[in-house]
Structure 1
Amino acid sequence: MKKIFLMGRSESGKTSLTQALKGEKLHYVKTQYTNTDDDTIDSPGEYAESKHFSVGLACFSFEADVVAIVQAADEPFNLFGANCHSFIMRPLIGIITKIDSPYANIPMVRQWLINAGCERIFMINNVTREGIDELLEYLSDDLEPMTLEQAQFKQSIGLNEWDPLPEGVEYPKEIASFDR
């Protein structure tokens, strides 16, 4: 299971999402500090809302396999600028929560996440668990183990280490196998 790092504005649904992913009953908890367990890293919304703390988001991202920007469908504004994925060396996904809100503007929030550089966007309702199974399926696909040399090779041809090799491209023979 991939470890996911959740970042977003206060009250965007990050902690409720963590509870839903674990199959727990939803209950309000104000995240006061970064919580981490085997599969999730849940950060306080203040980290994304303050220039002073936002550098912590980049630091915590190194502990995860995938980074998720969590935005409620009824958010009045966007905290994350275009191409913010450039400082995150992990796959970046978007998660839209509160999709049942009467004030939801899903097309606008989806565009914000696309502009930020999210590779994939999930629509989630933490209460009804709509979309949770799809997100869990994505997280259950383990990343292929690779050596440092294999990662460096991918980078040398302009790929991220999580990107598949293009059709017809193979690792050089001396780094082709992975020995644990």
Structure 2
Amino acid sequence: MRKIMLLGRSEAGKTTLTQALKGEKITYHKTQYVNYYDVIIDTPGEYAETATLGGALAIYSYEADVIGMLLSAIEPYSLYPPCVCAIATREVIGIVTKIDHKDANVEQAKEWLRLAGCEKIFCISSYTGEGVSDILEYLKEDGDVLPWEEAKAKDDILI
């Protein structure tokens, strides 16, 4: 599985997405420092929101294969400047979170991520699970077996 670094504003859904990708129960947890997991790097929102901390994201990105720029579908503005993906030394994907929220404006969030330079954009709800498997499929490498593939293989053996 390729390693992904998640970045975005505070409350964009980075830690919640991390929990969903790992198949964990969703609980609120404020990320106060960079968390390294086997294939996920979860960063605090303050790193993306504060110019003096933003440089740290560039350094942490060297540990990742893919950078996931998160933008909540309920955001009133985008944190990302136009064409910012051009300066990345890694592949950058866009991830629209909170698509299940009653005030979600998914199309606006997608447009902001396209303006930032994201060519591949995923729309997800960590709570309903919508779109989470698409990200896992995207990060999958040859030889990786995802949990639902493993379950299907077991079912096929039993039949």
Deviation string 1:54-79 (CA, Å, 9 cap, x unpaired) is: 11111111110000101110011111
Give distance in 2, aligned partners of 1:141 and 1:110.
Answer: 26
Secondary structure (helix, strand or coil) at the match of 2:96 reads: strand
Give distance in 2, aligned partners of 1:85 and 1:56.
Answer: 16
Secondary structure (helix, strand or coil) at the match of 2:5 reads: strand
In the alignment, which residue of structure 1 is the partner of 2:50?
50
Give distance in 1, aligned partners of 2:123 and 2:106.
Answer: 9
Bigger radius of gyration = 1
User: Which of structure 1's runs of 4+ aligned residues deviate more than 2 A?
Assistant: none
In the alignment, which residue of structure 2 is the partner of 1:141?
141
User: Under a length normalisation based on structure 2, what TM-score does the superposition of the two structures give?
Assistant: 0.87
Q: Which stretch of structure 1 is more off in the superposition, 20-29 or 102-111?
A: 102-111
Q: Deviation of residue 141 (structure 1)?
A: 3.0
Structure 1 unaligned regions, length at least 5: 143-180
Tell me, yes or no, if the aligned pair for 1:58 and 1:87 is still in contact at 8 Å.
Answer: no
Q: Deviation of residue 119 (structure 1)?
A: 2.2
Give distance in 2, aligned partners of 1:23 and 1:115.
Answer: 31
Structure 2 unaligned regions, length at least 5: 143-159
Pairing 1:1-180 to 2, within 5 Å after superposition:
1-141=1-141
Secondary structure (helix, strand or coil) at the match of 2:86 reads: helix
Secondary structure (helix, strand or coil) at the match of 1:64 reads: coil
User: Under a length normalisation based on structure 1, what TM-score does the superposition of the two structures give?
Assistant: 0.77
Give distance in 1, aligned partners of 2:119 and 2:108.
Answer: 17
Q: How many residues align?
A: 142
Q: Deviation of residue 107 (structure 1)?
A: 1.1
Give distance in 2, aligned partners of 1:28 and 1:80.
Answer: 25
Q: Which has the higher contact order (CA 8 A, sep 6+)?
A: 2
Secondary structure (helix, strand or coil) at the match of 1:93 reads: strand
* Backbone CA RMSD of aligned residues: 0.9
Percent identity, please.
51
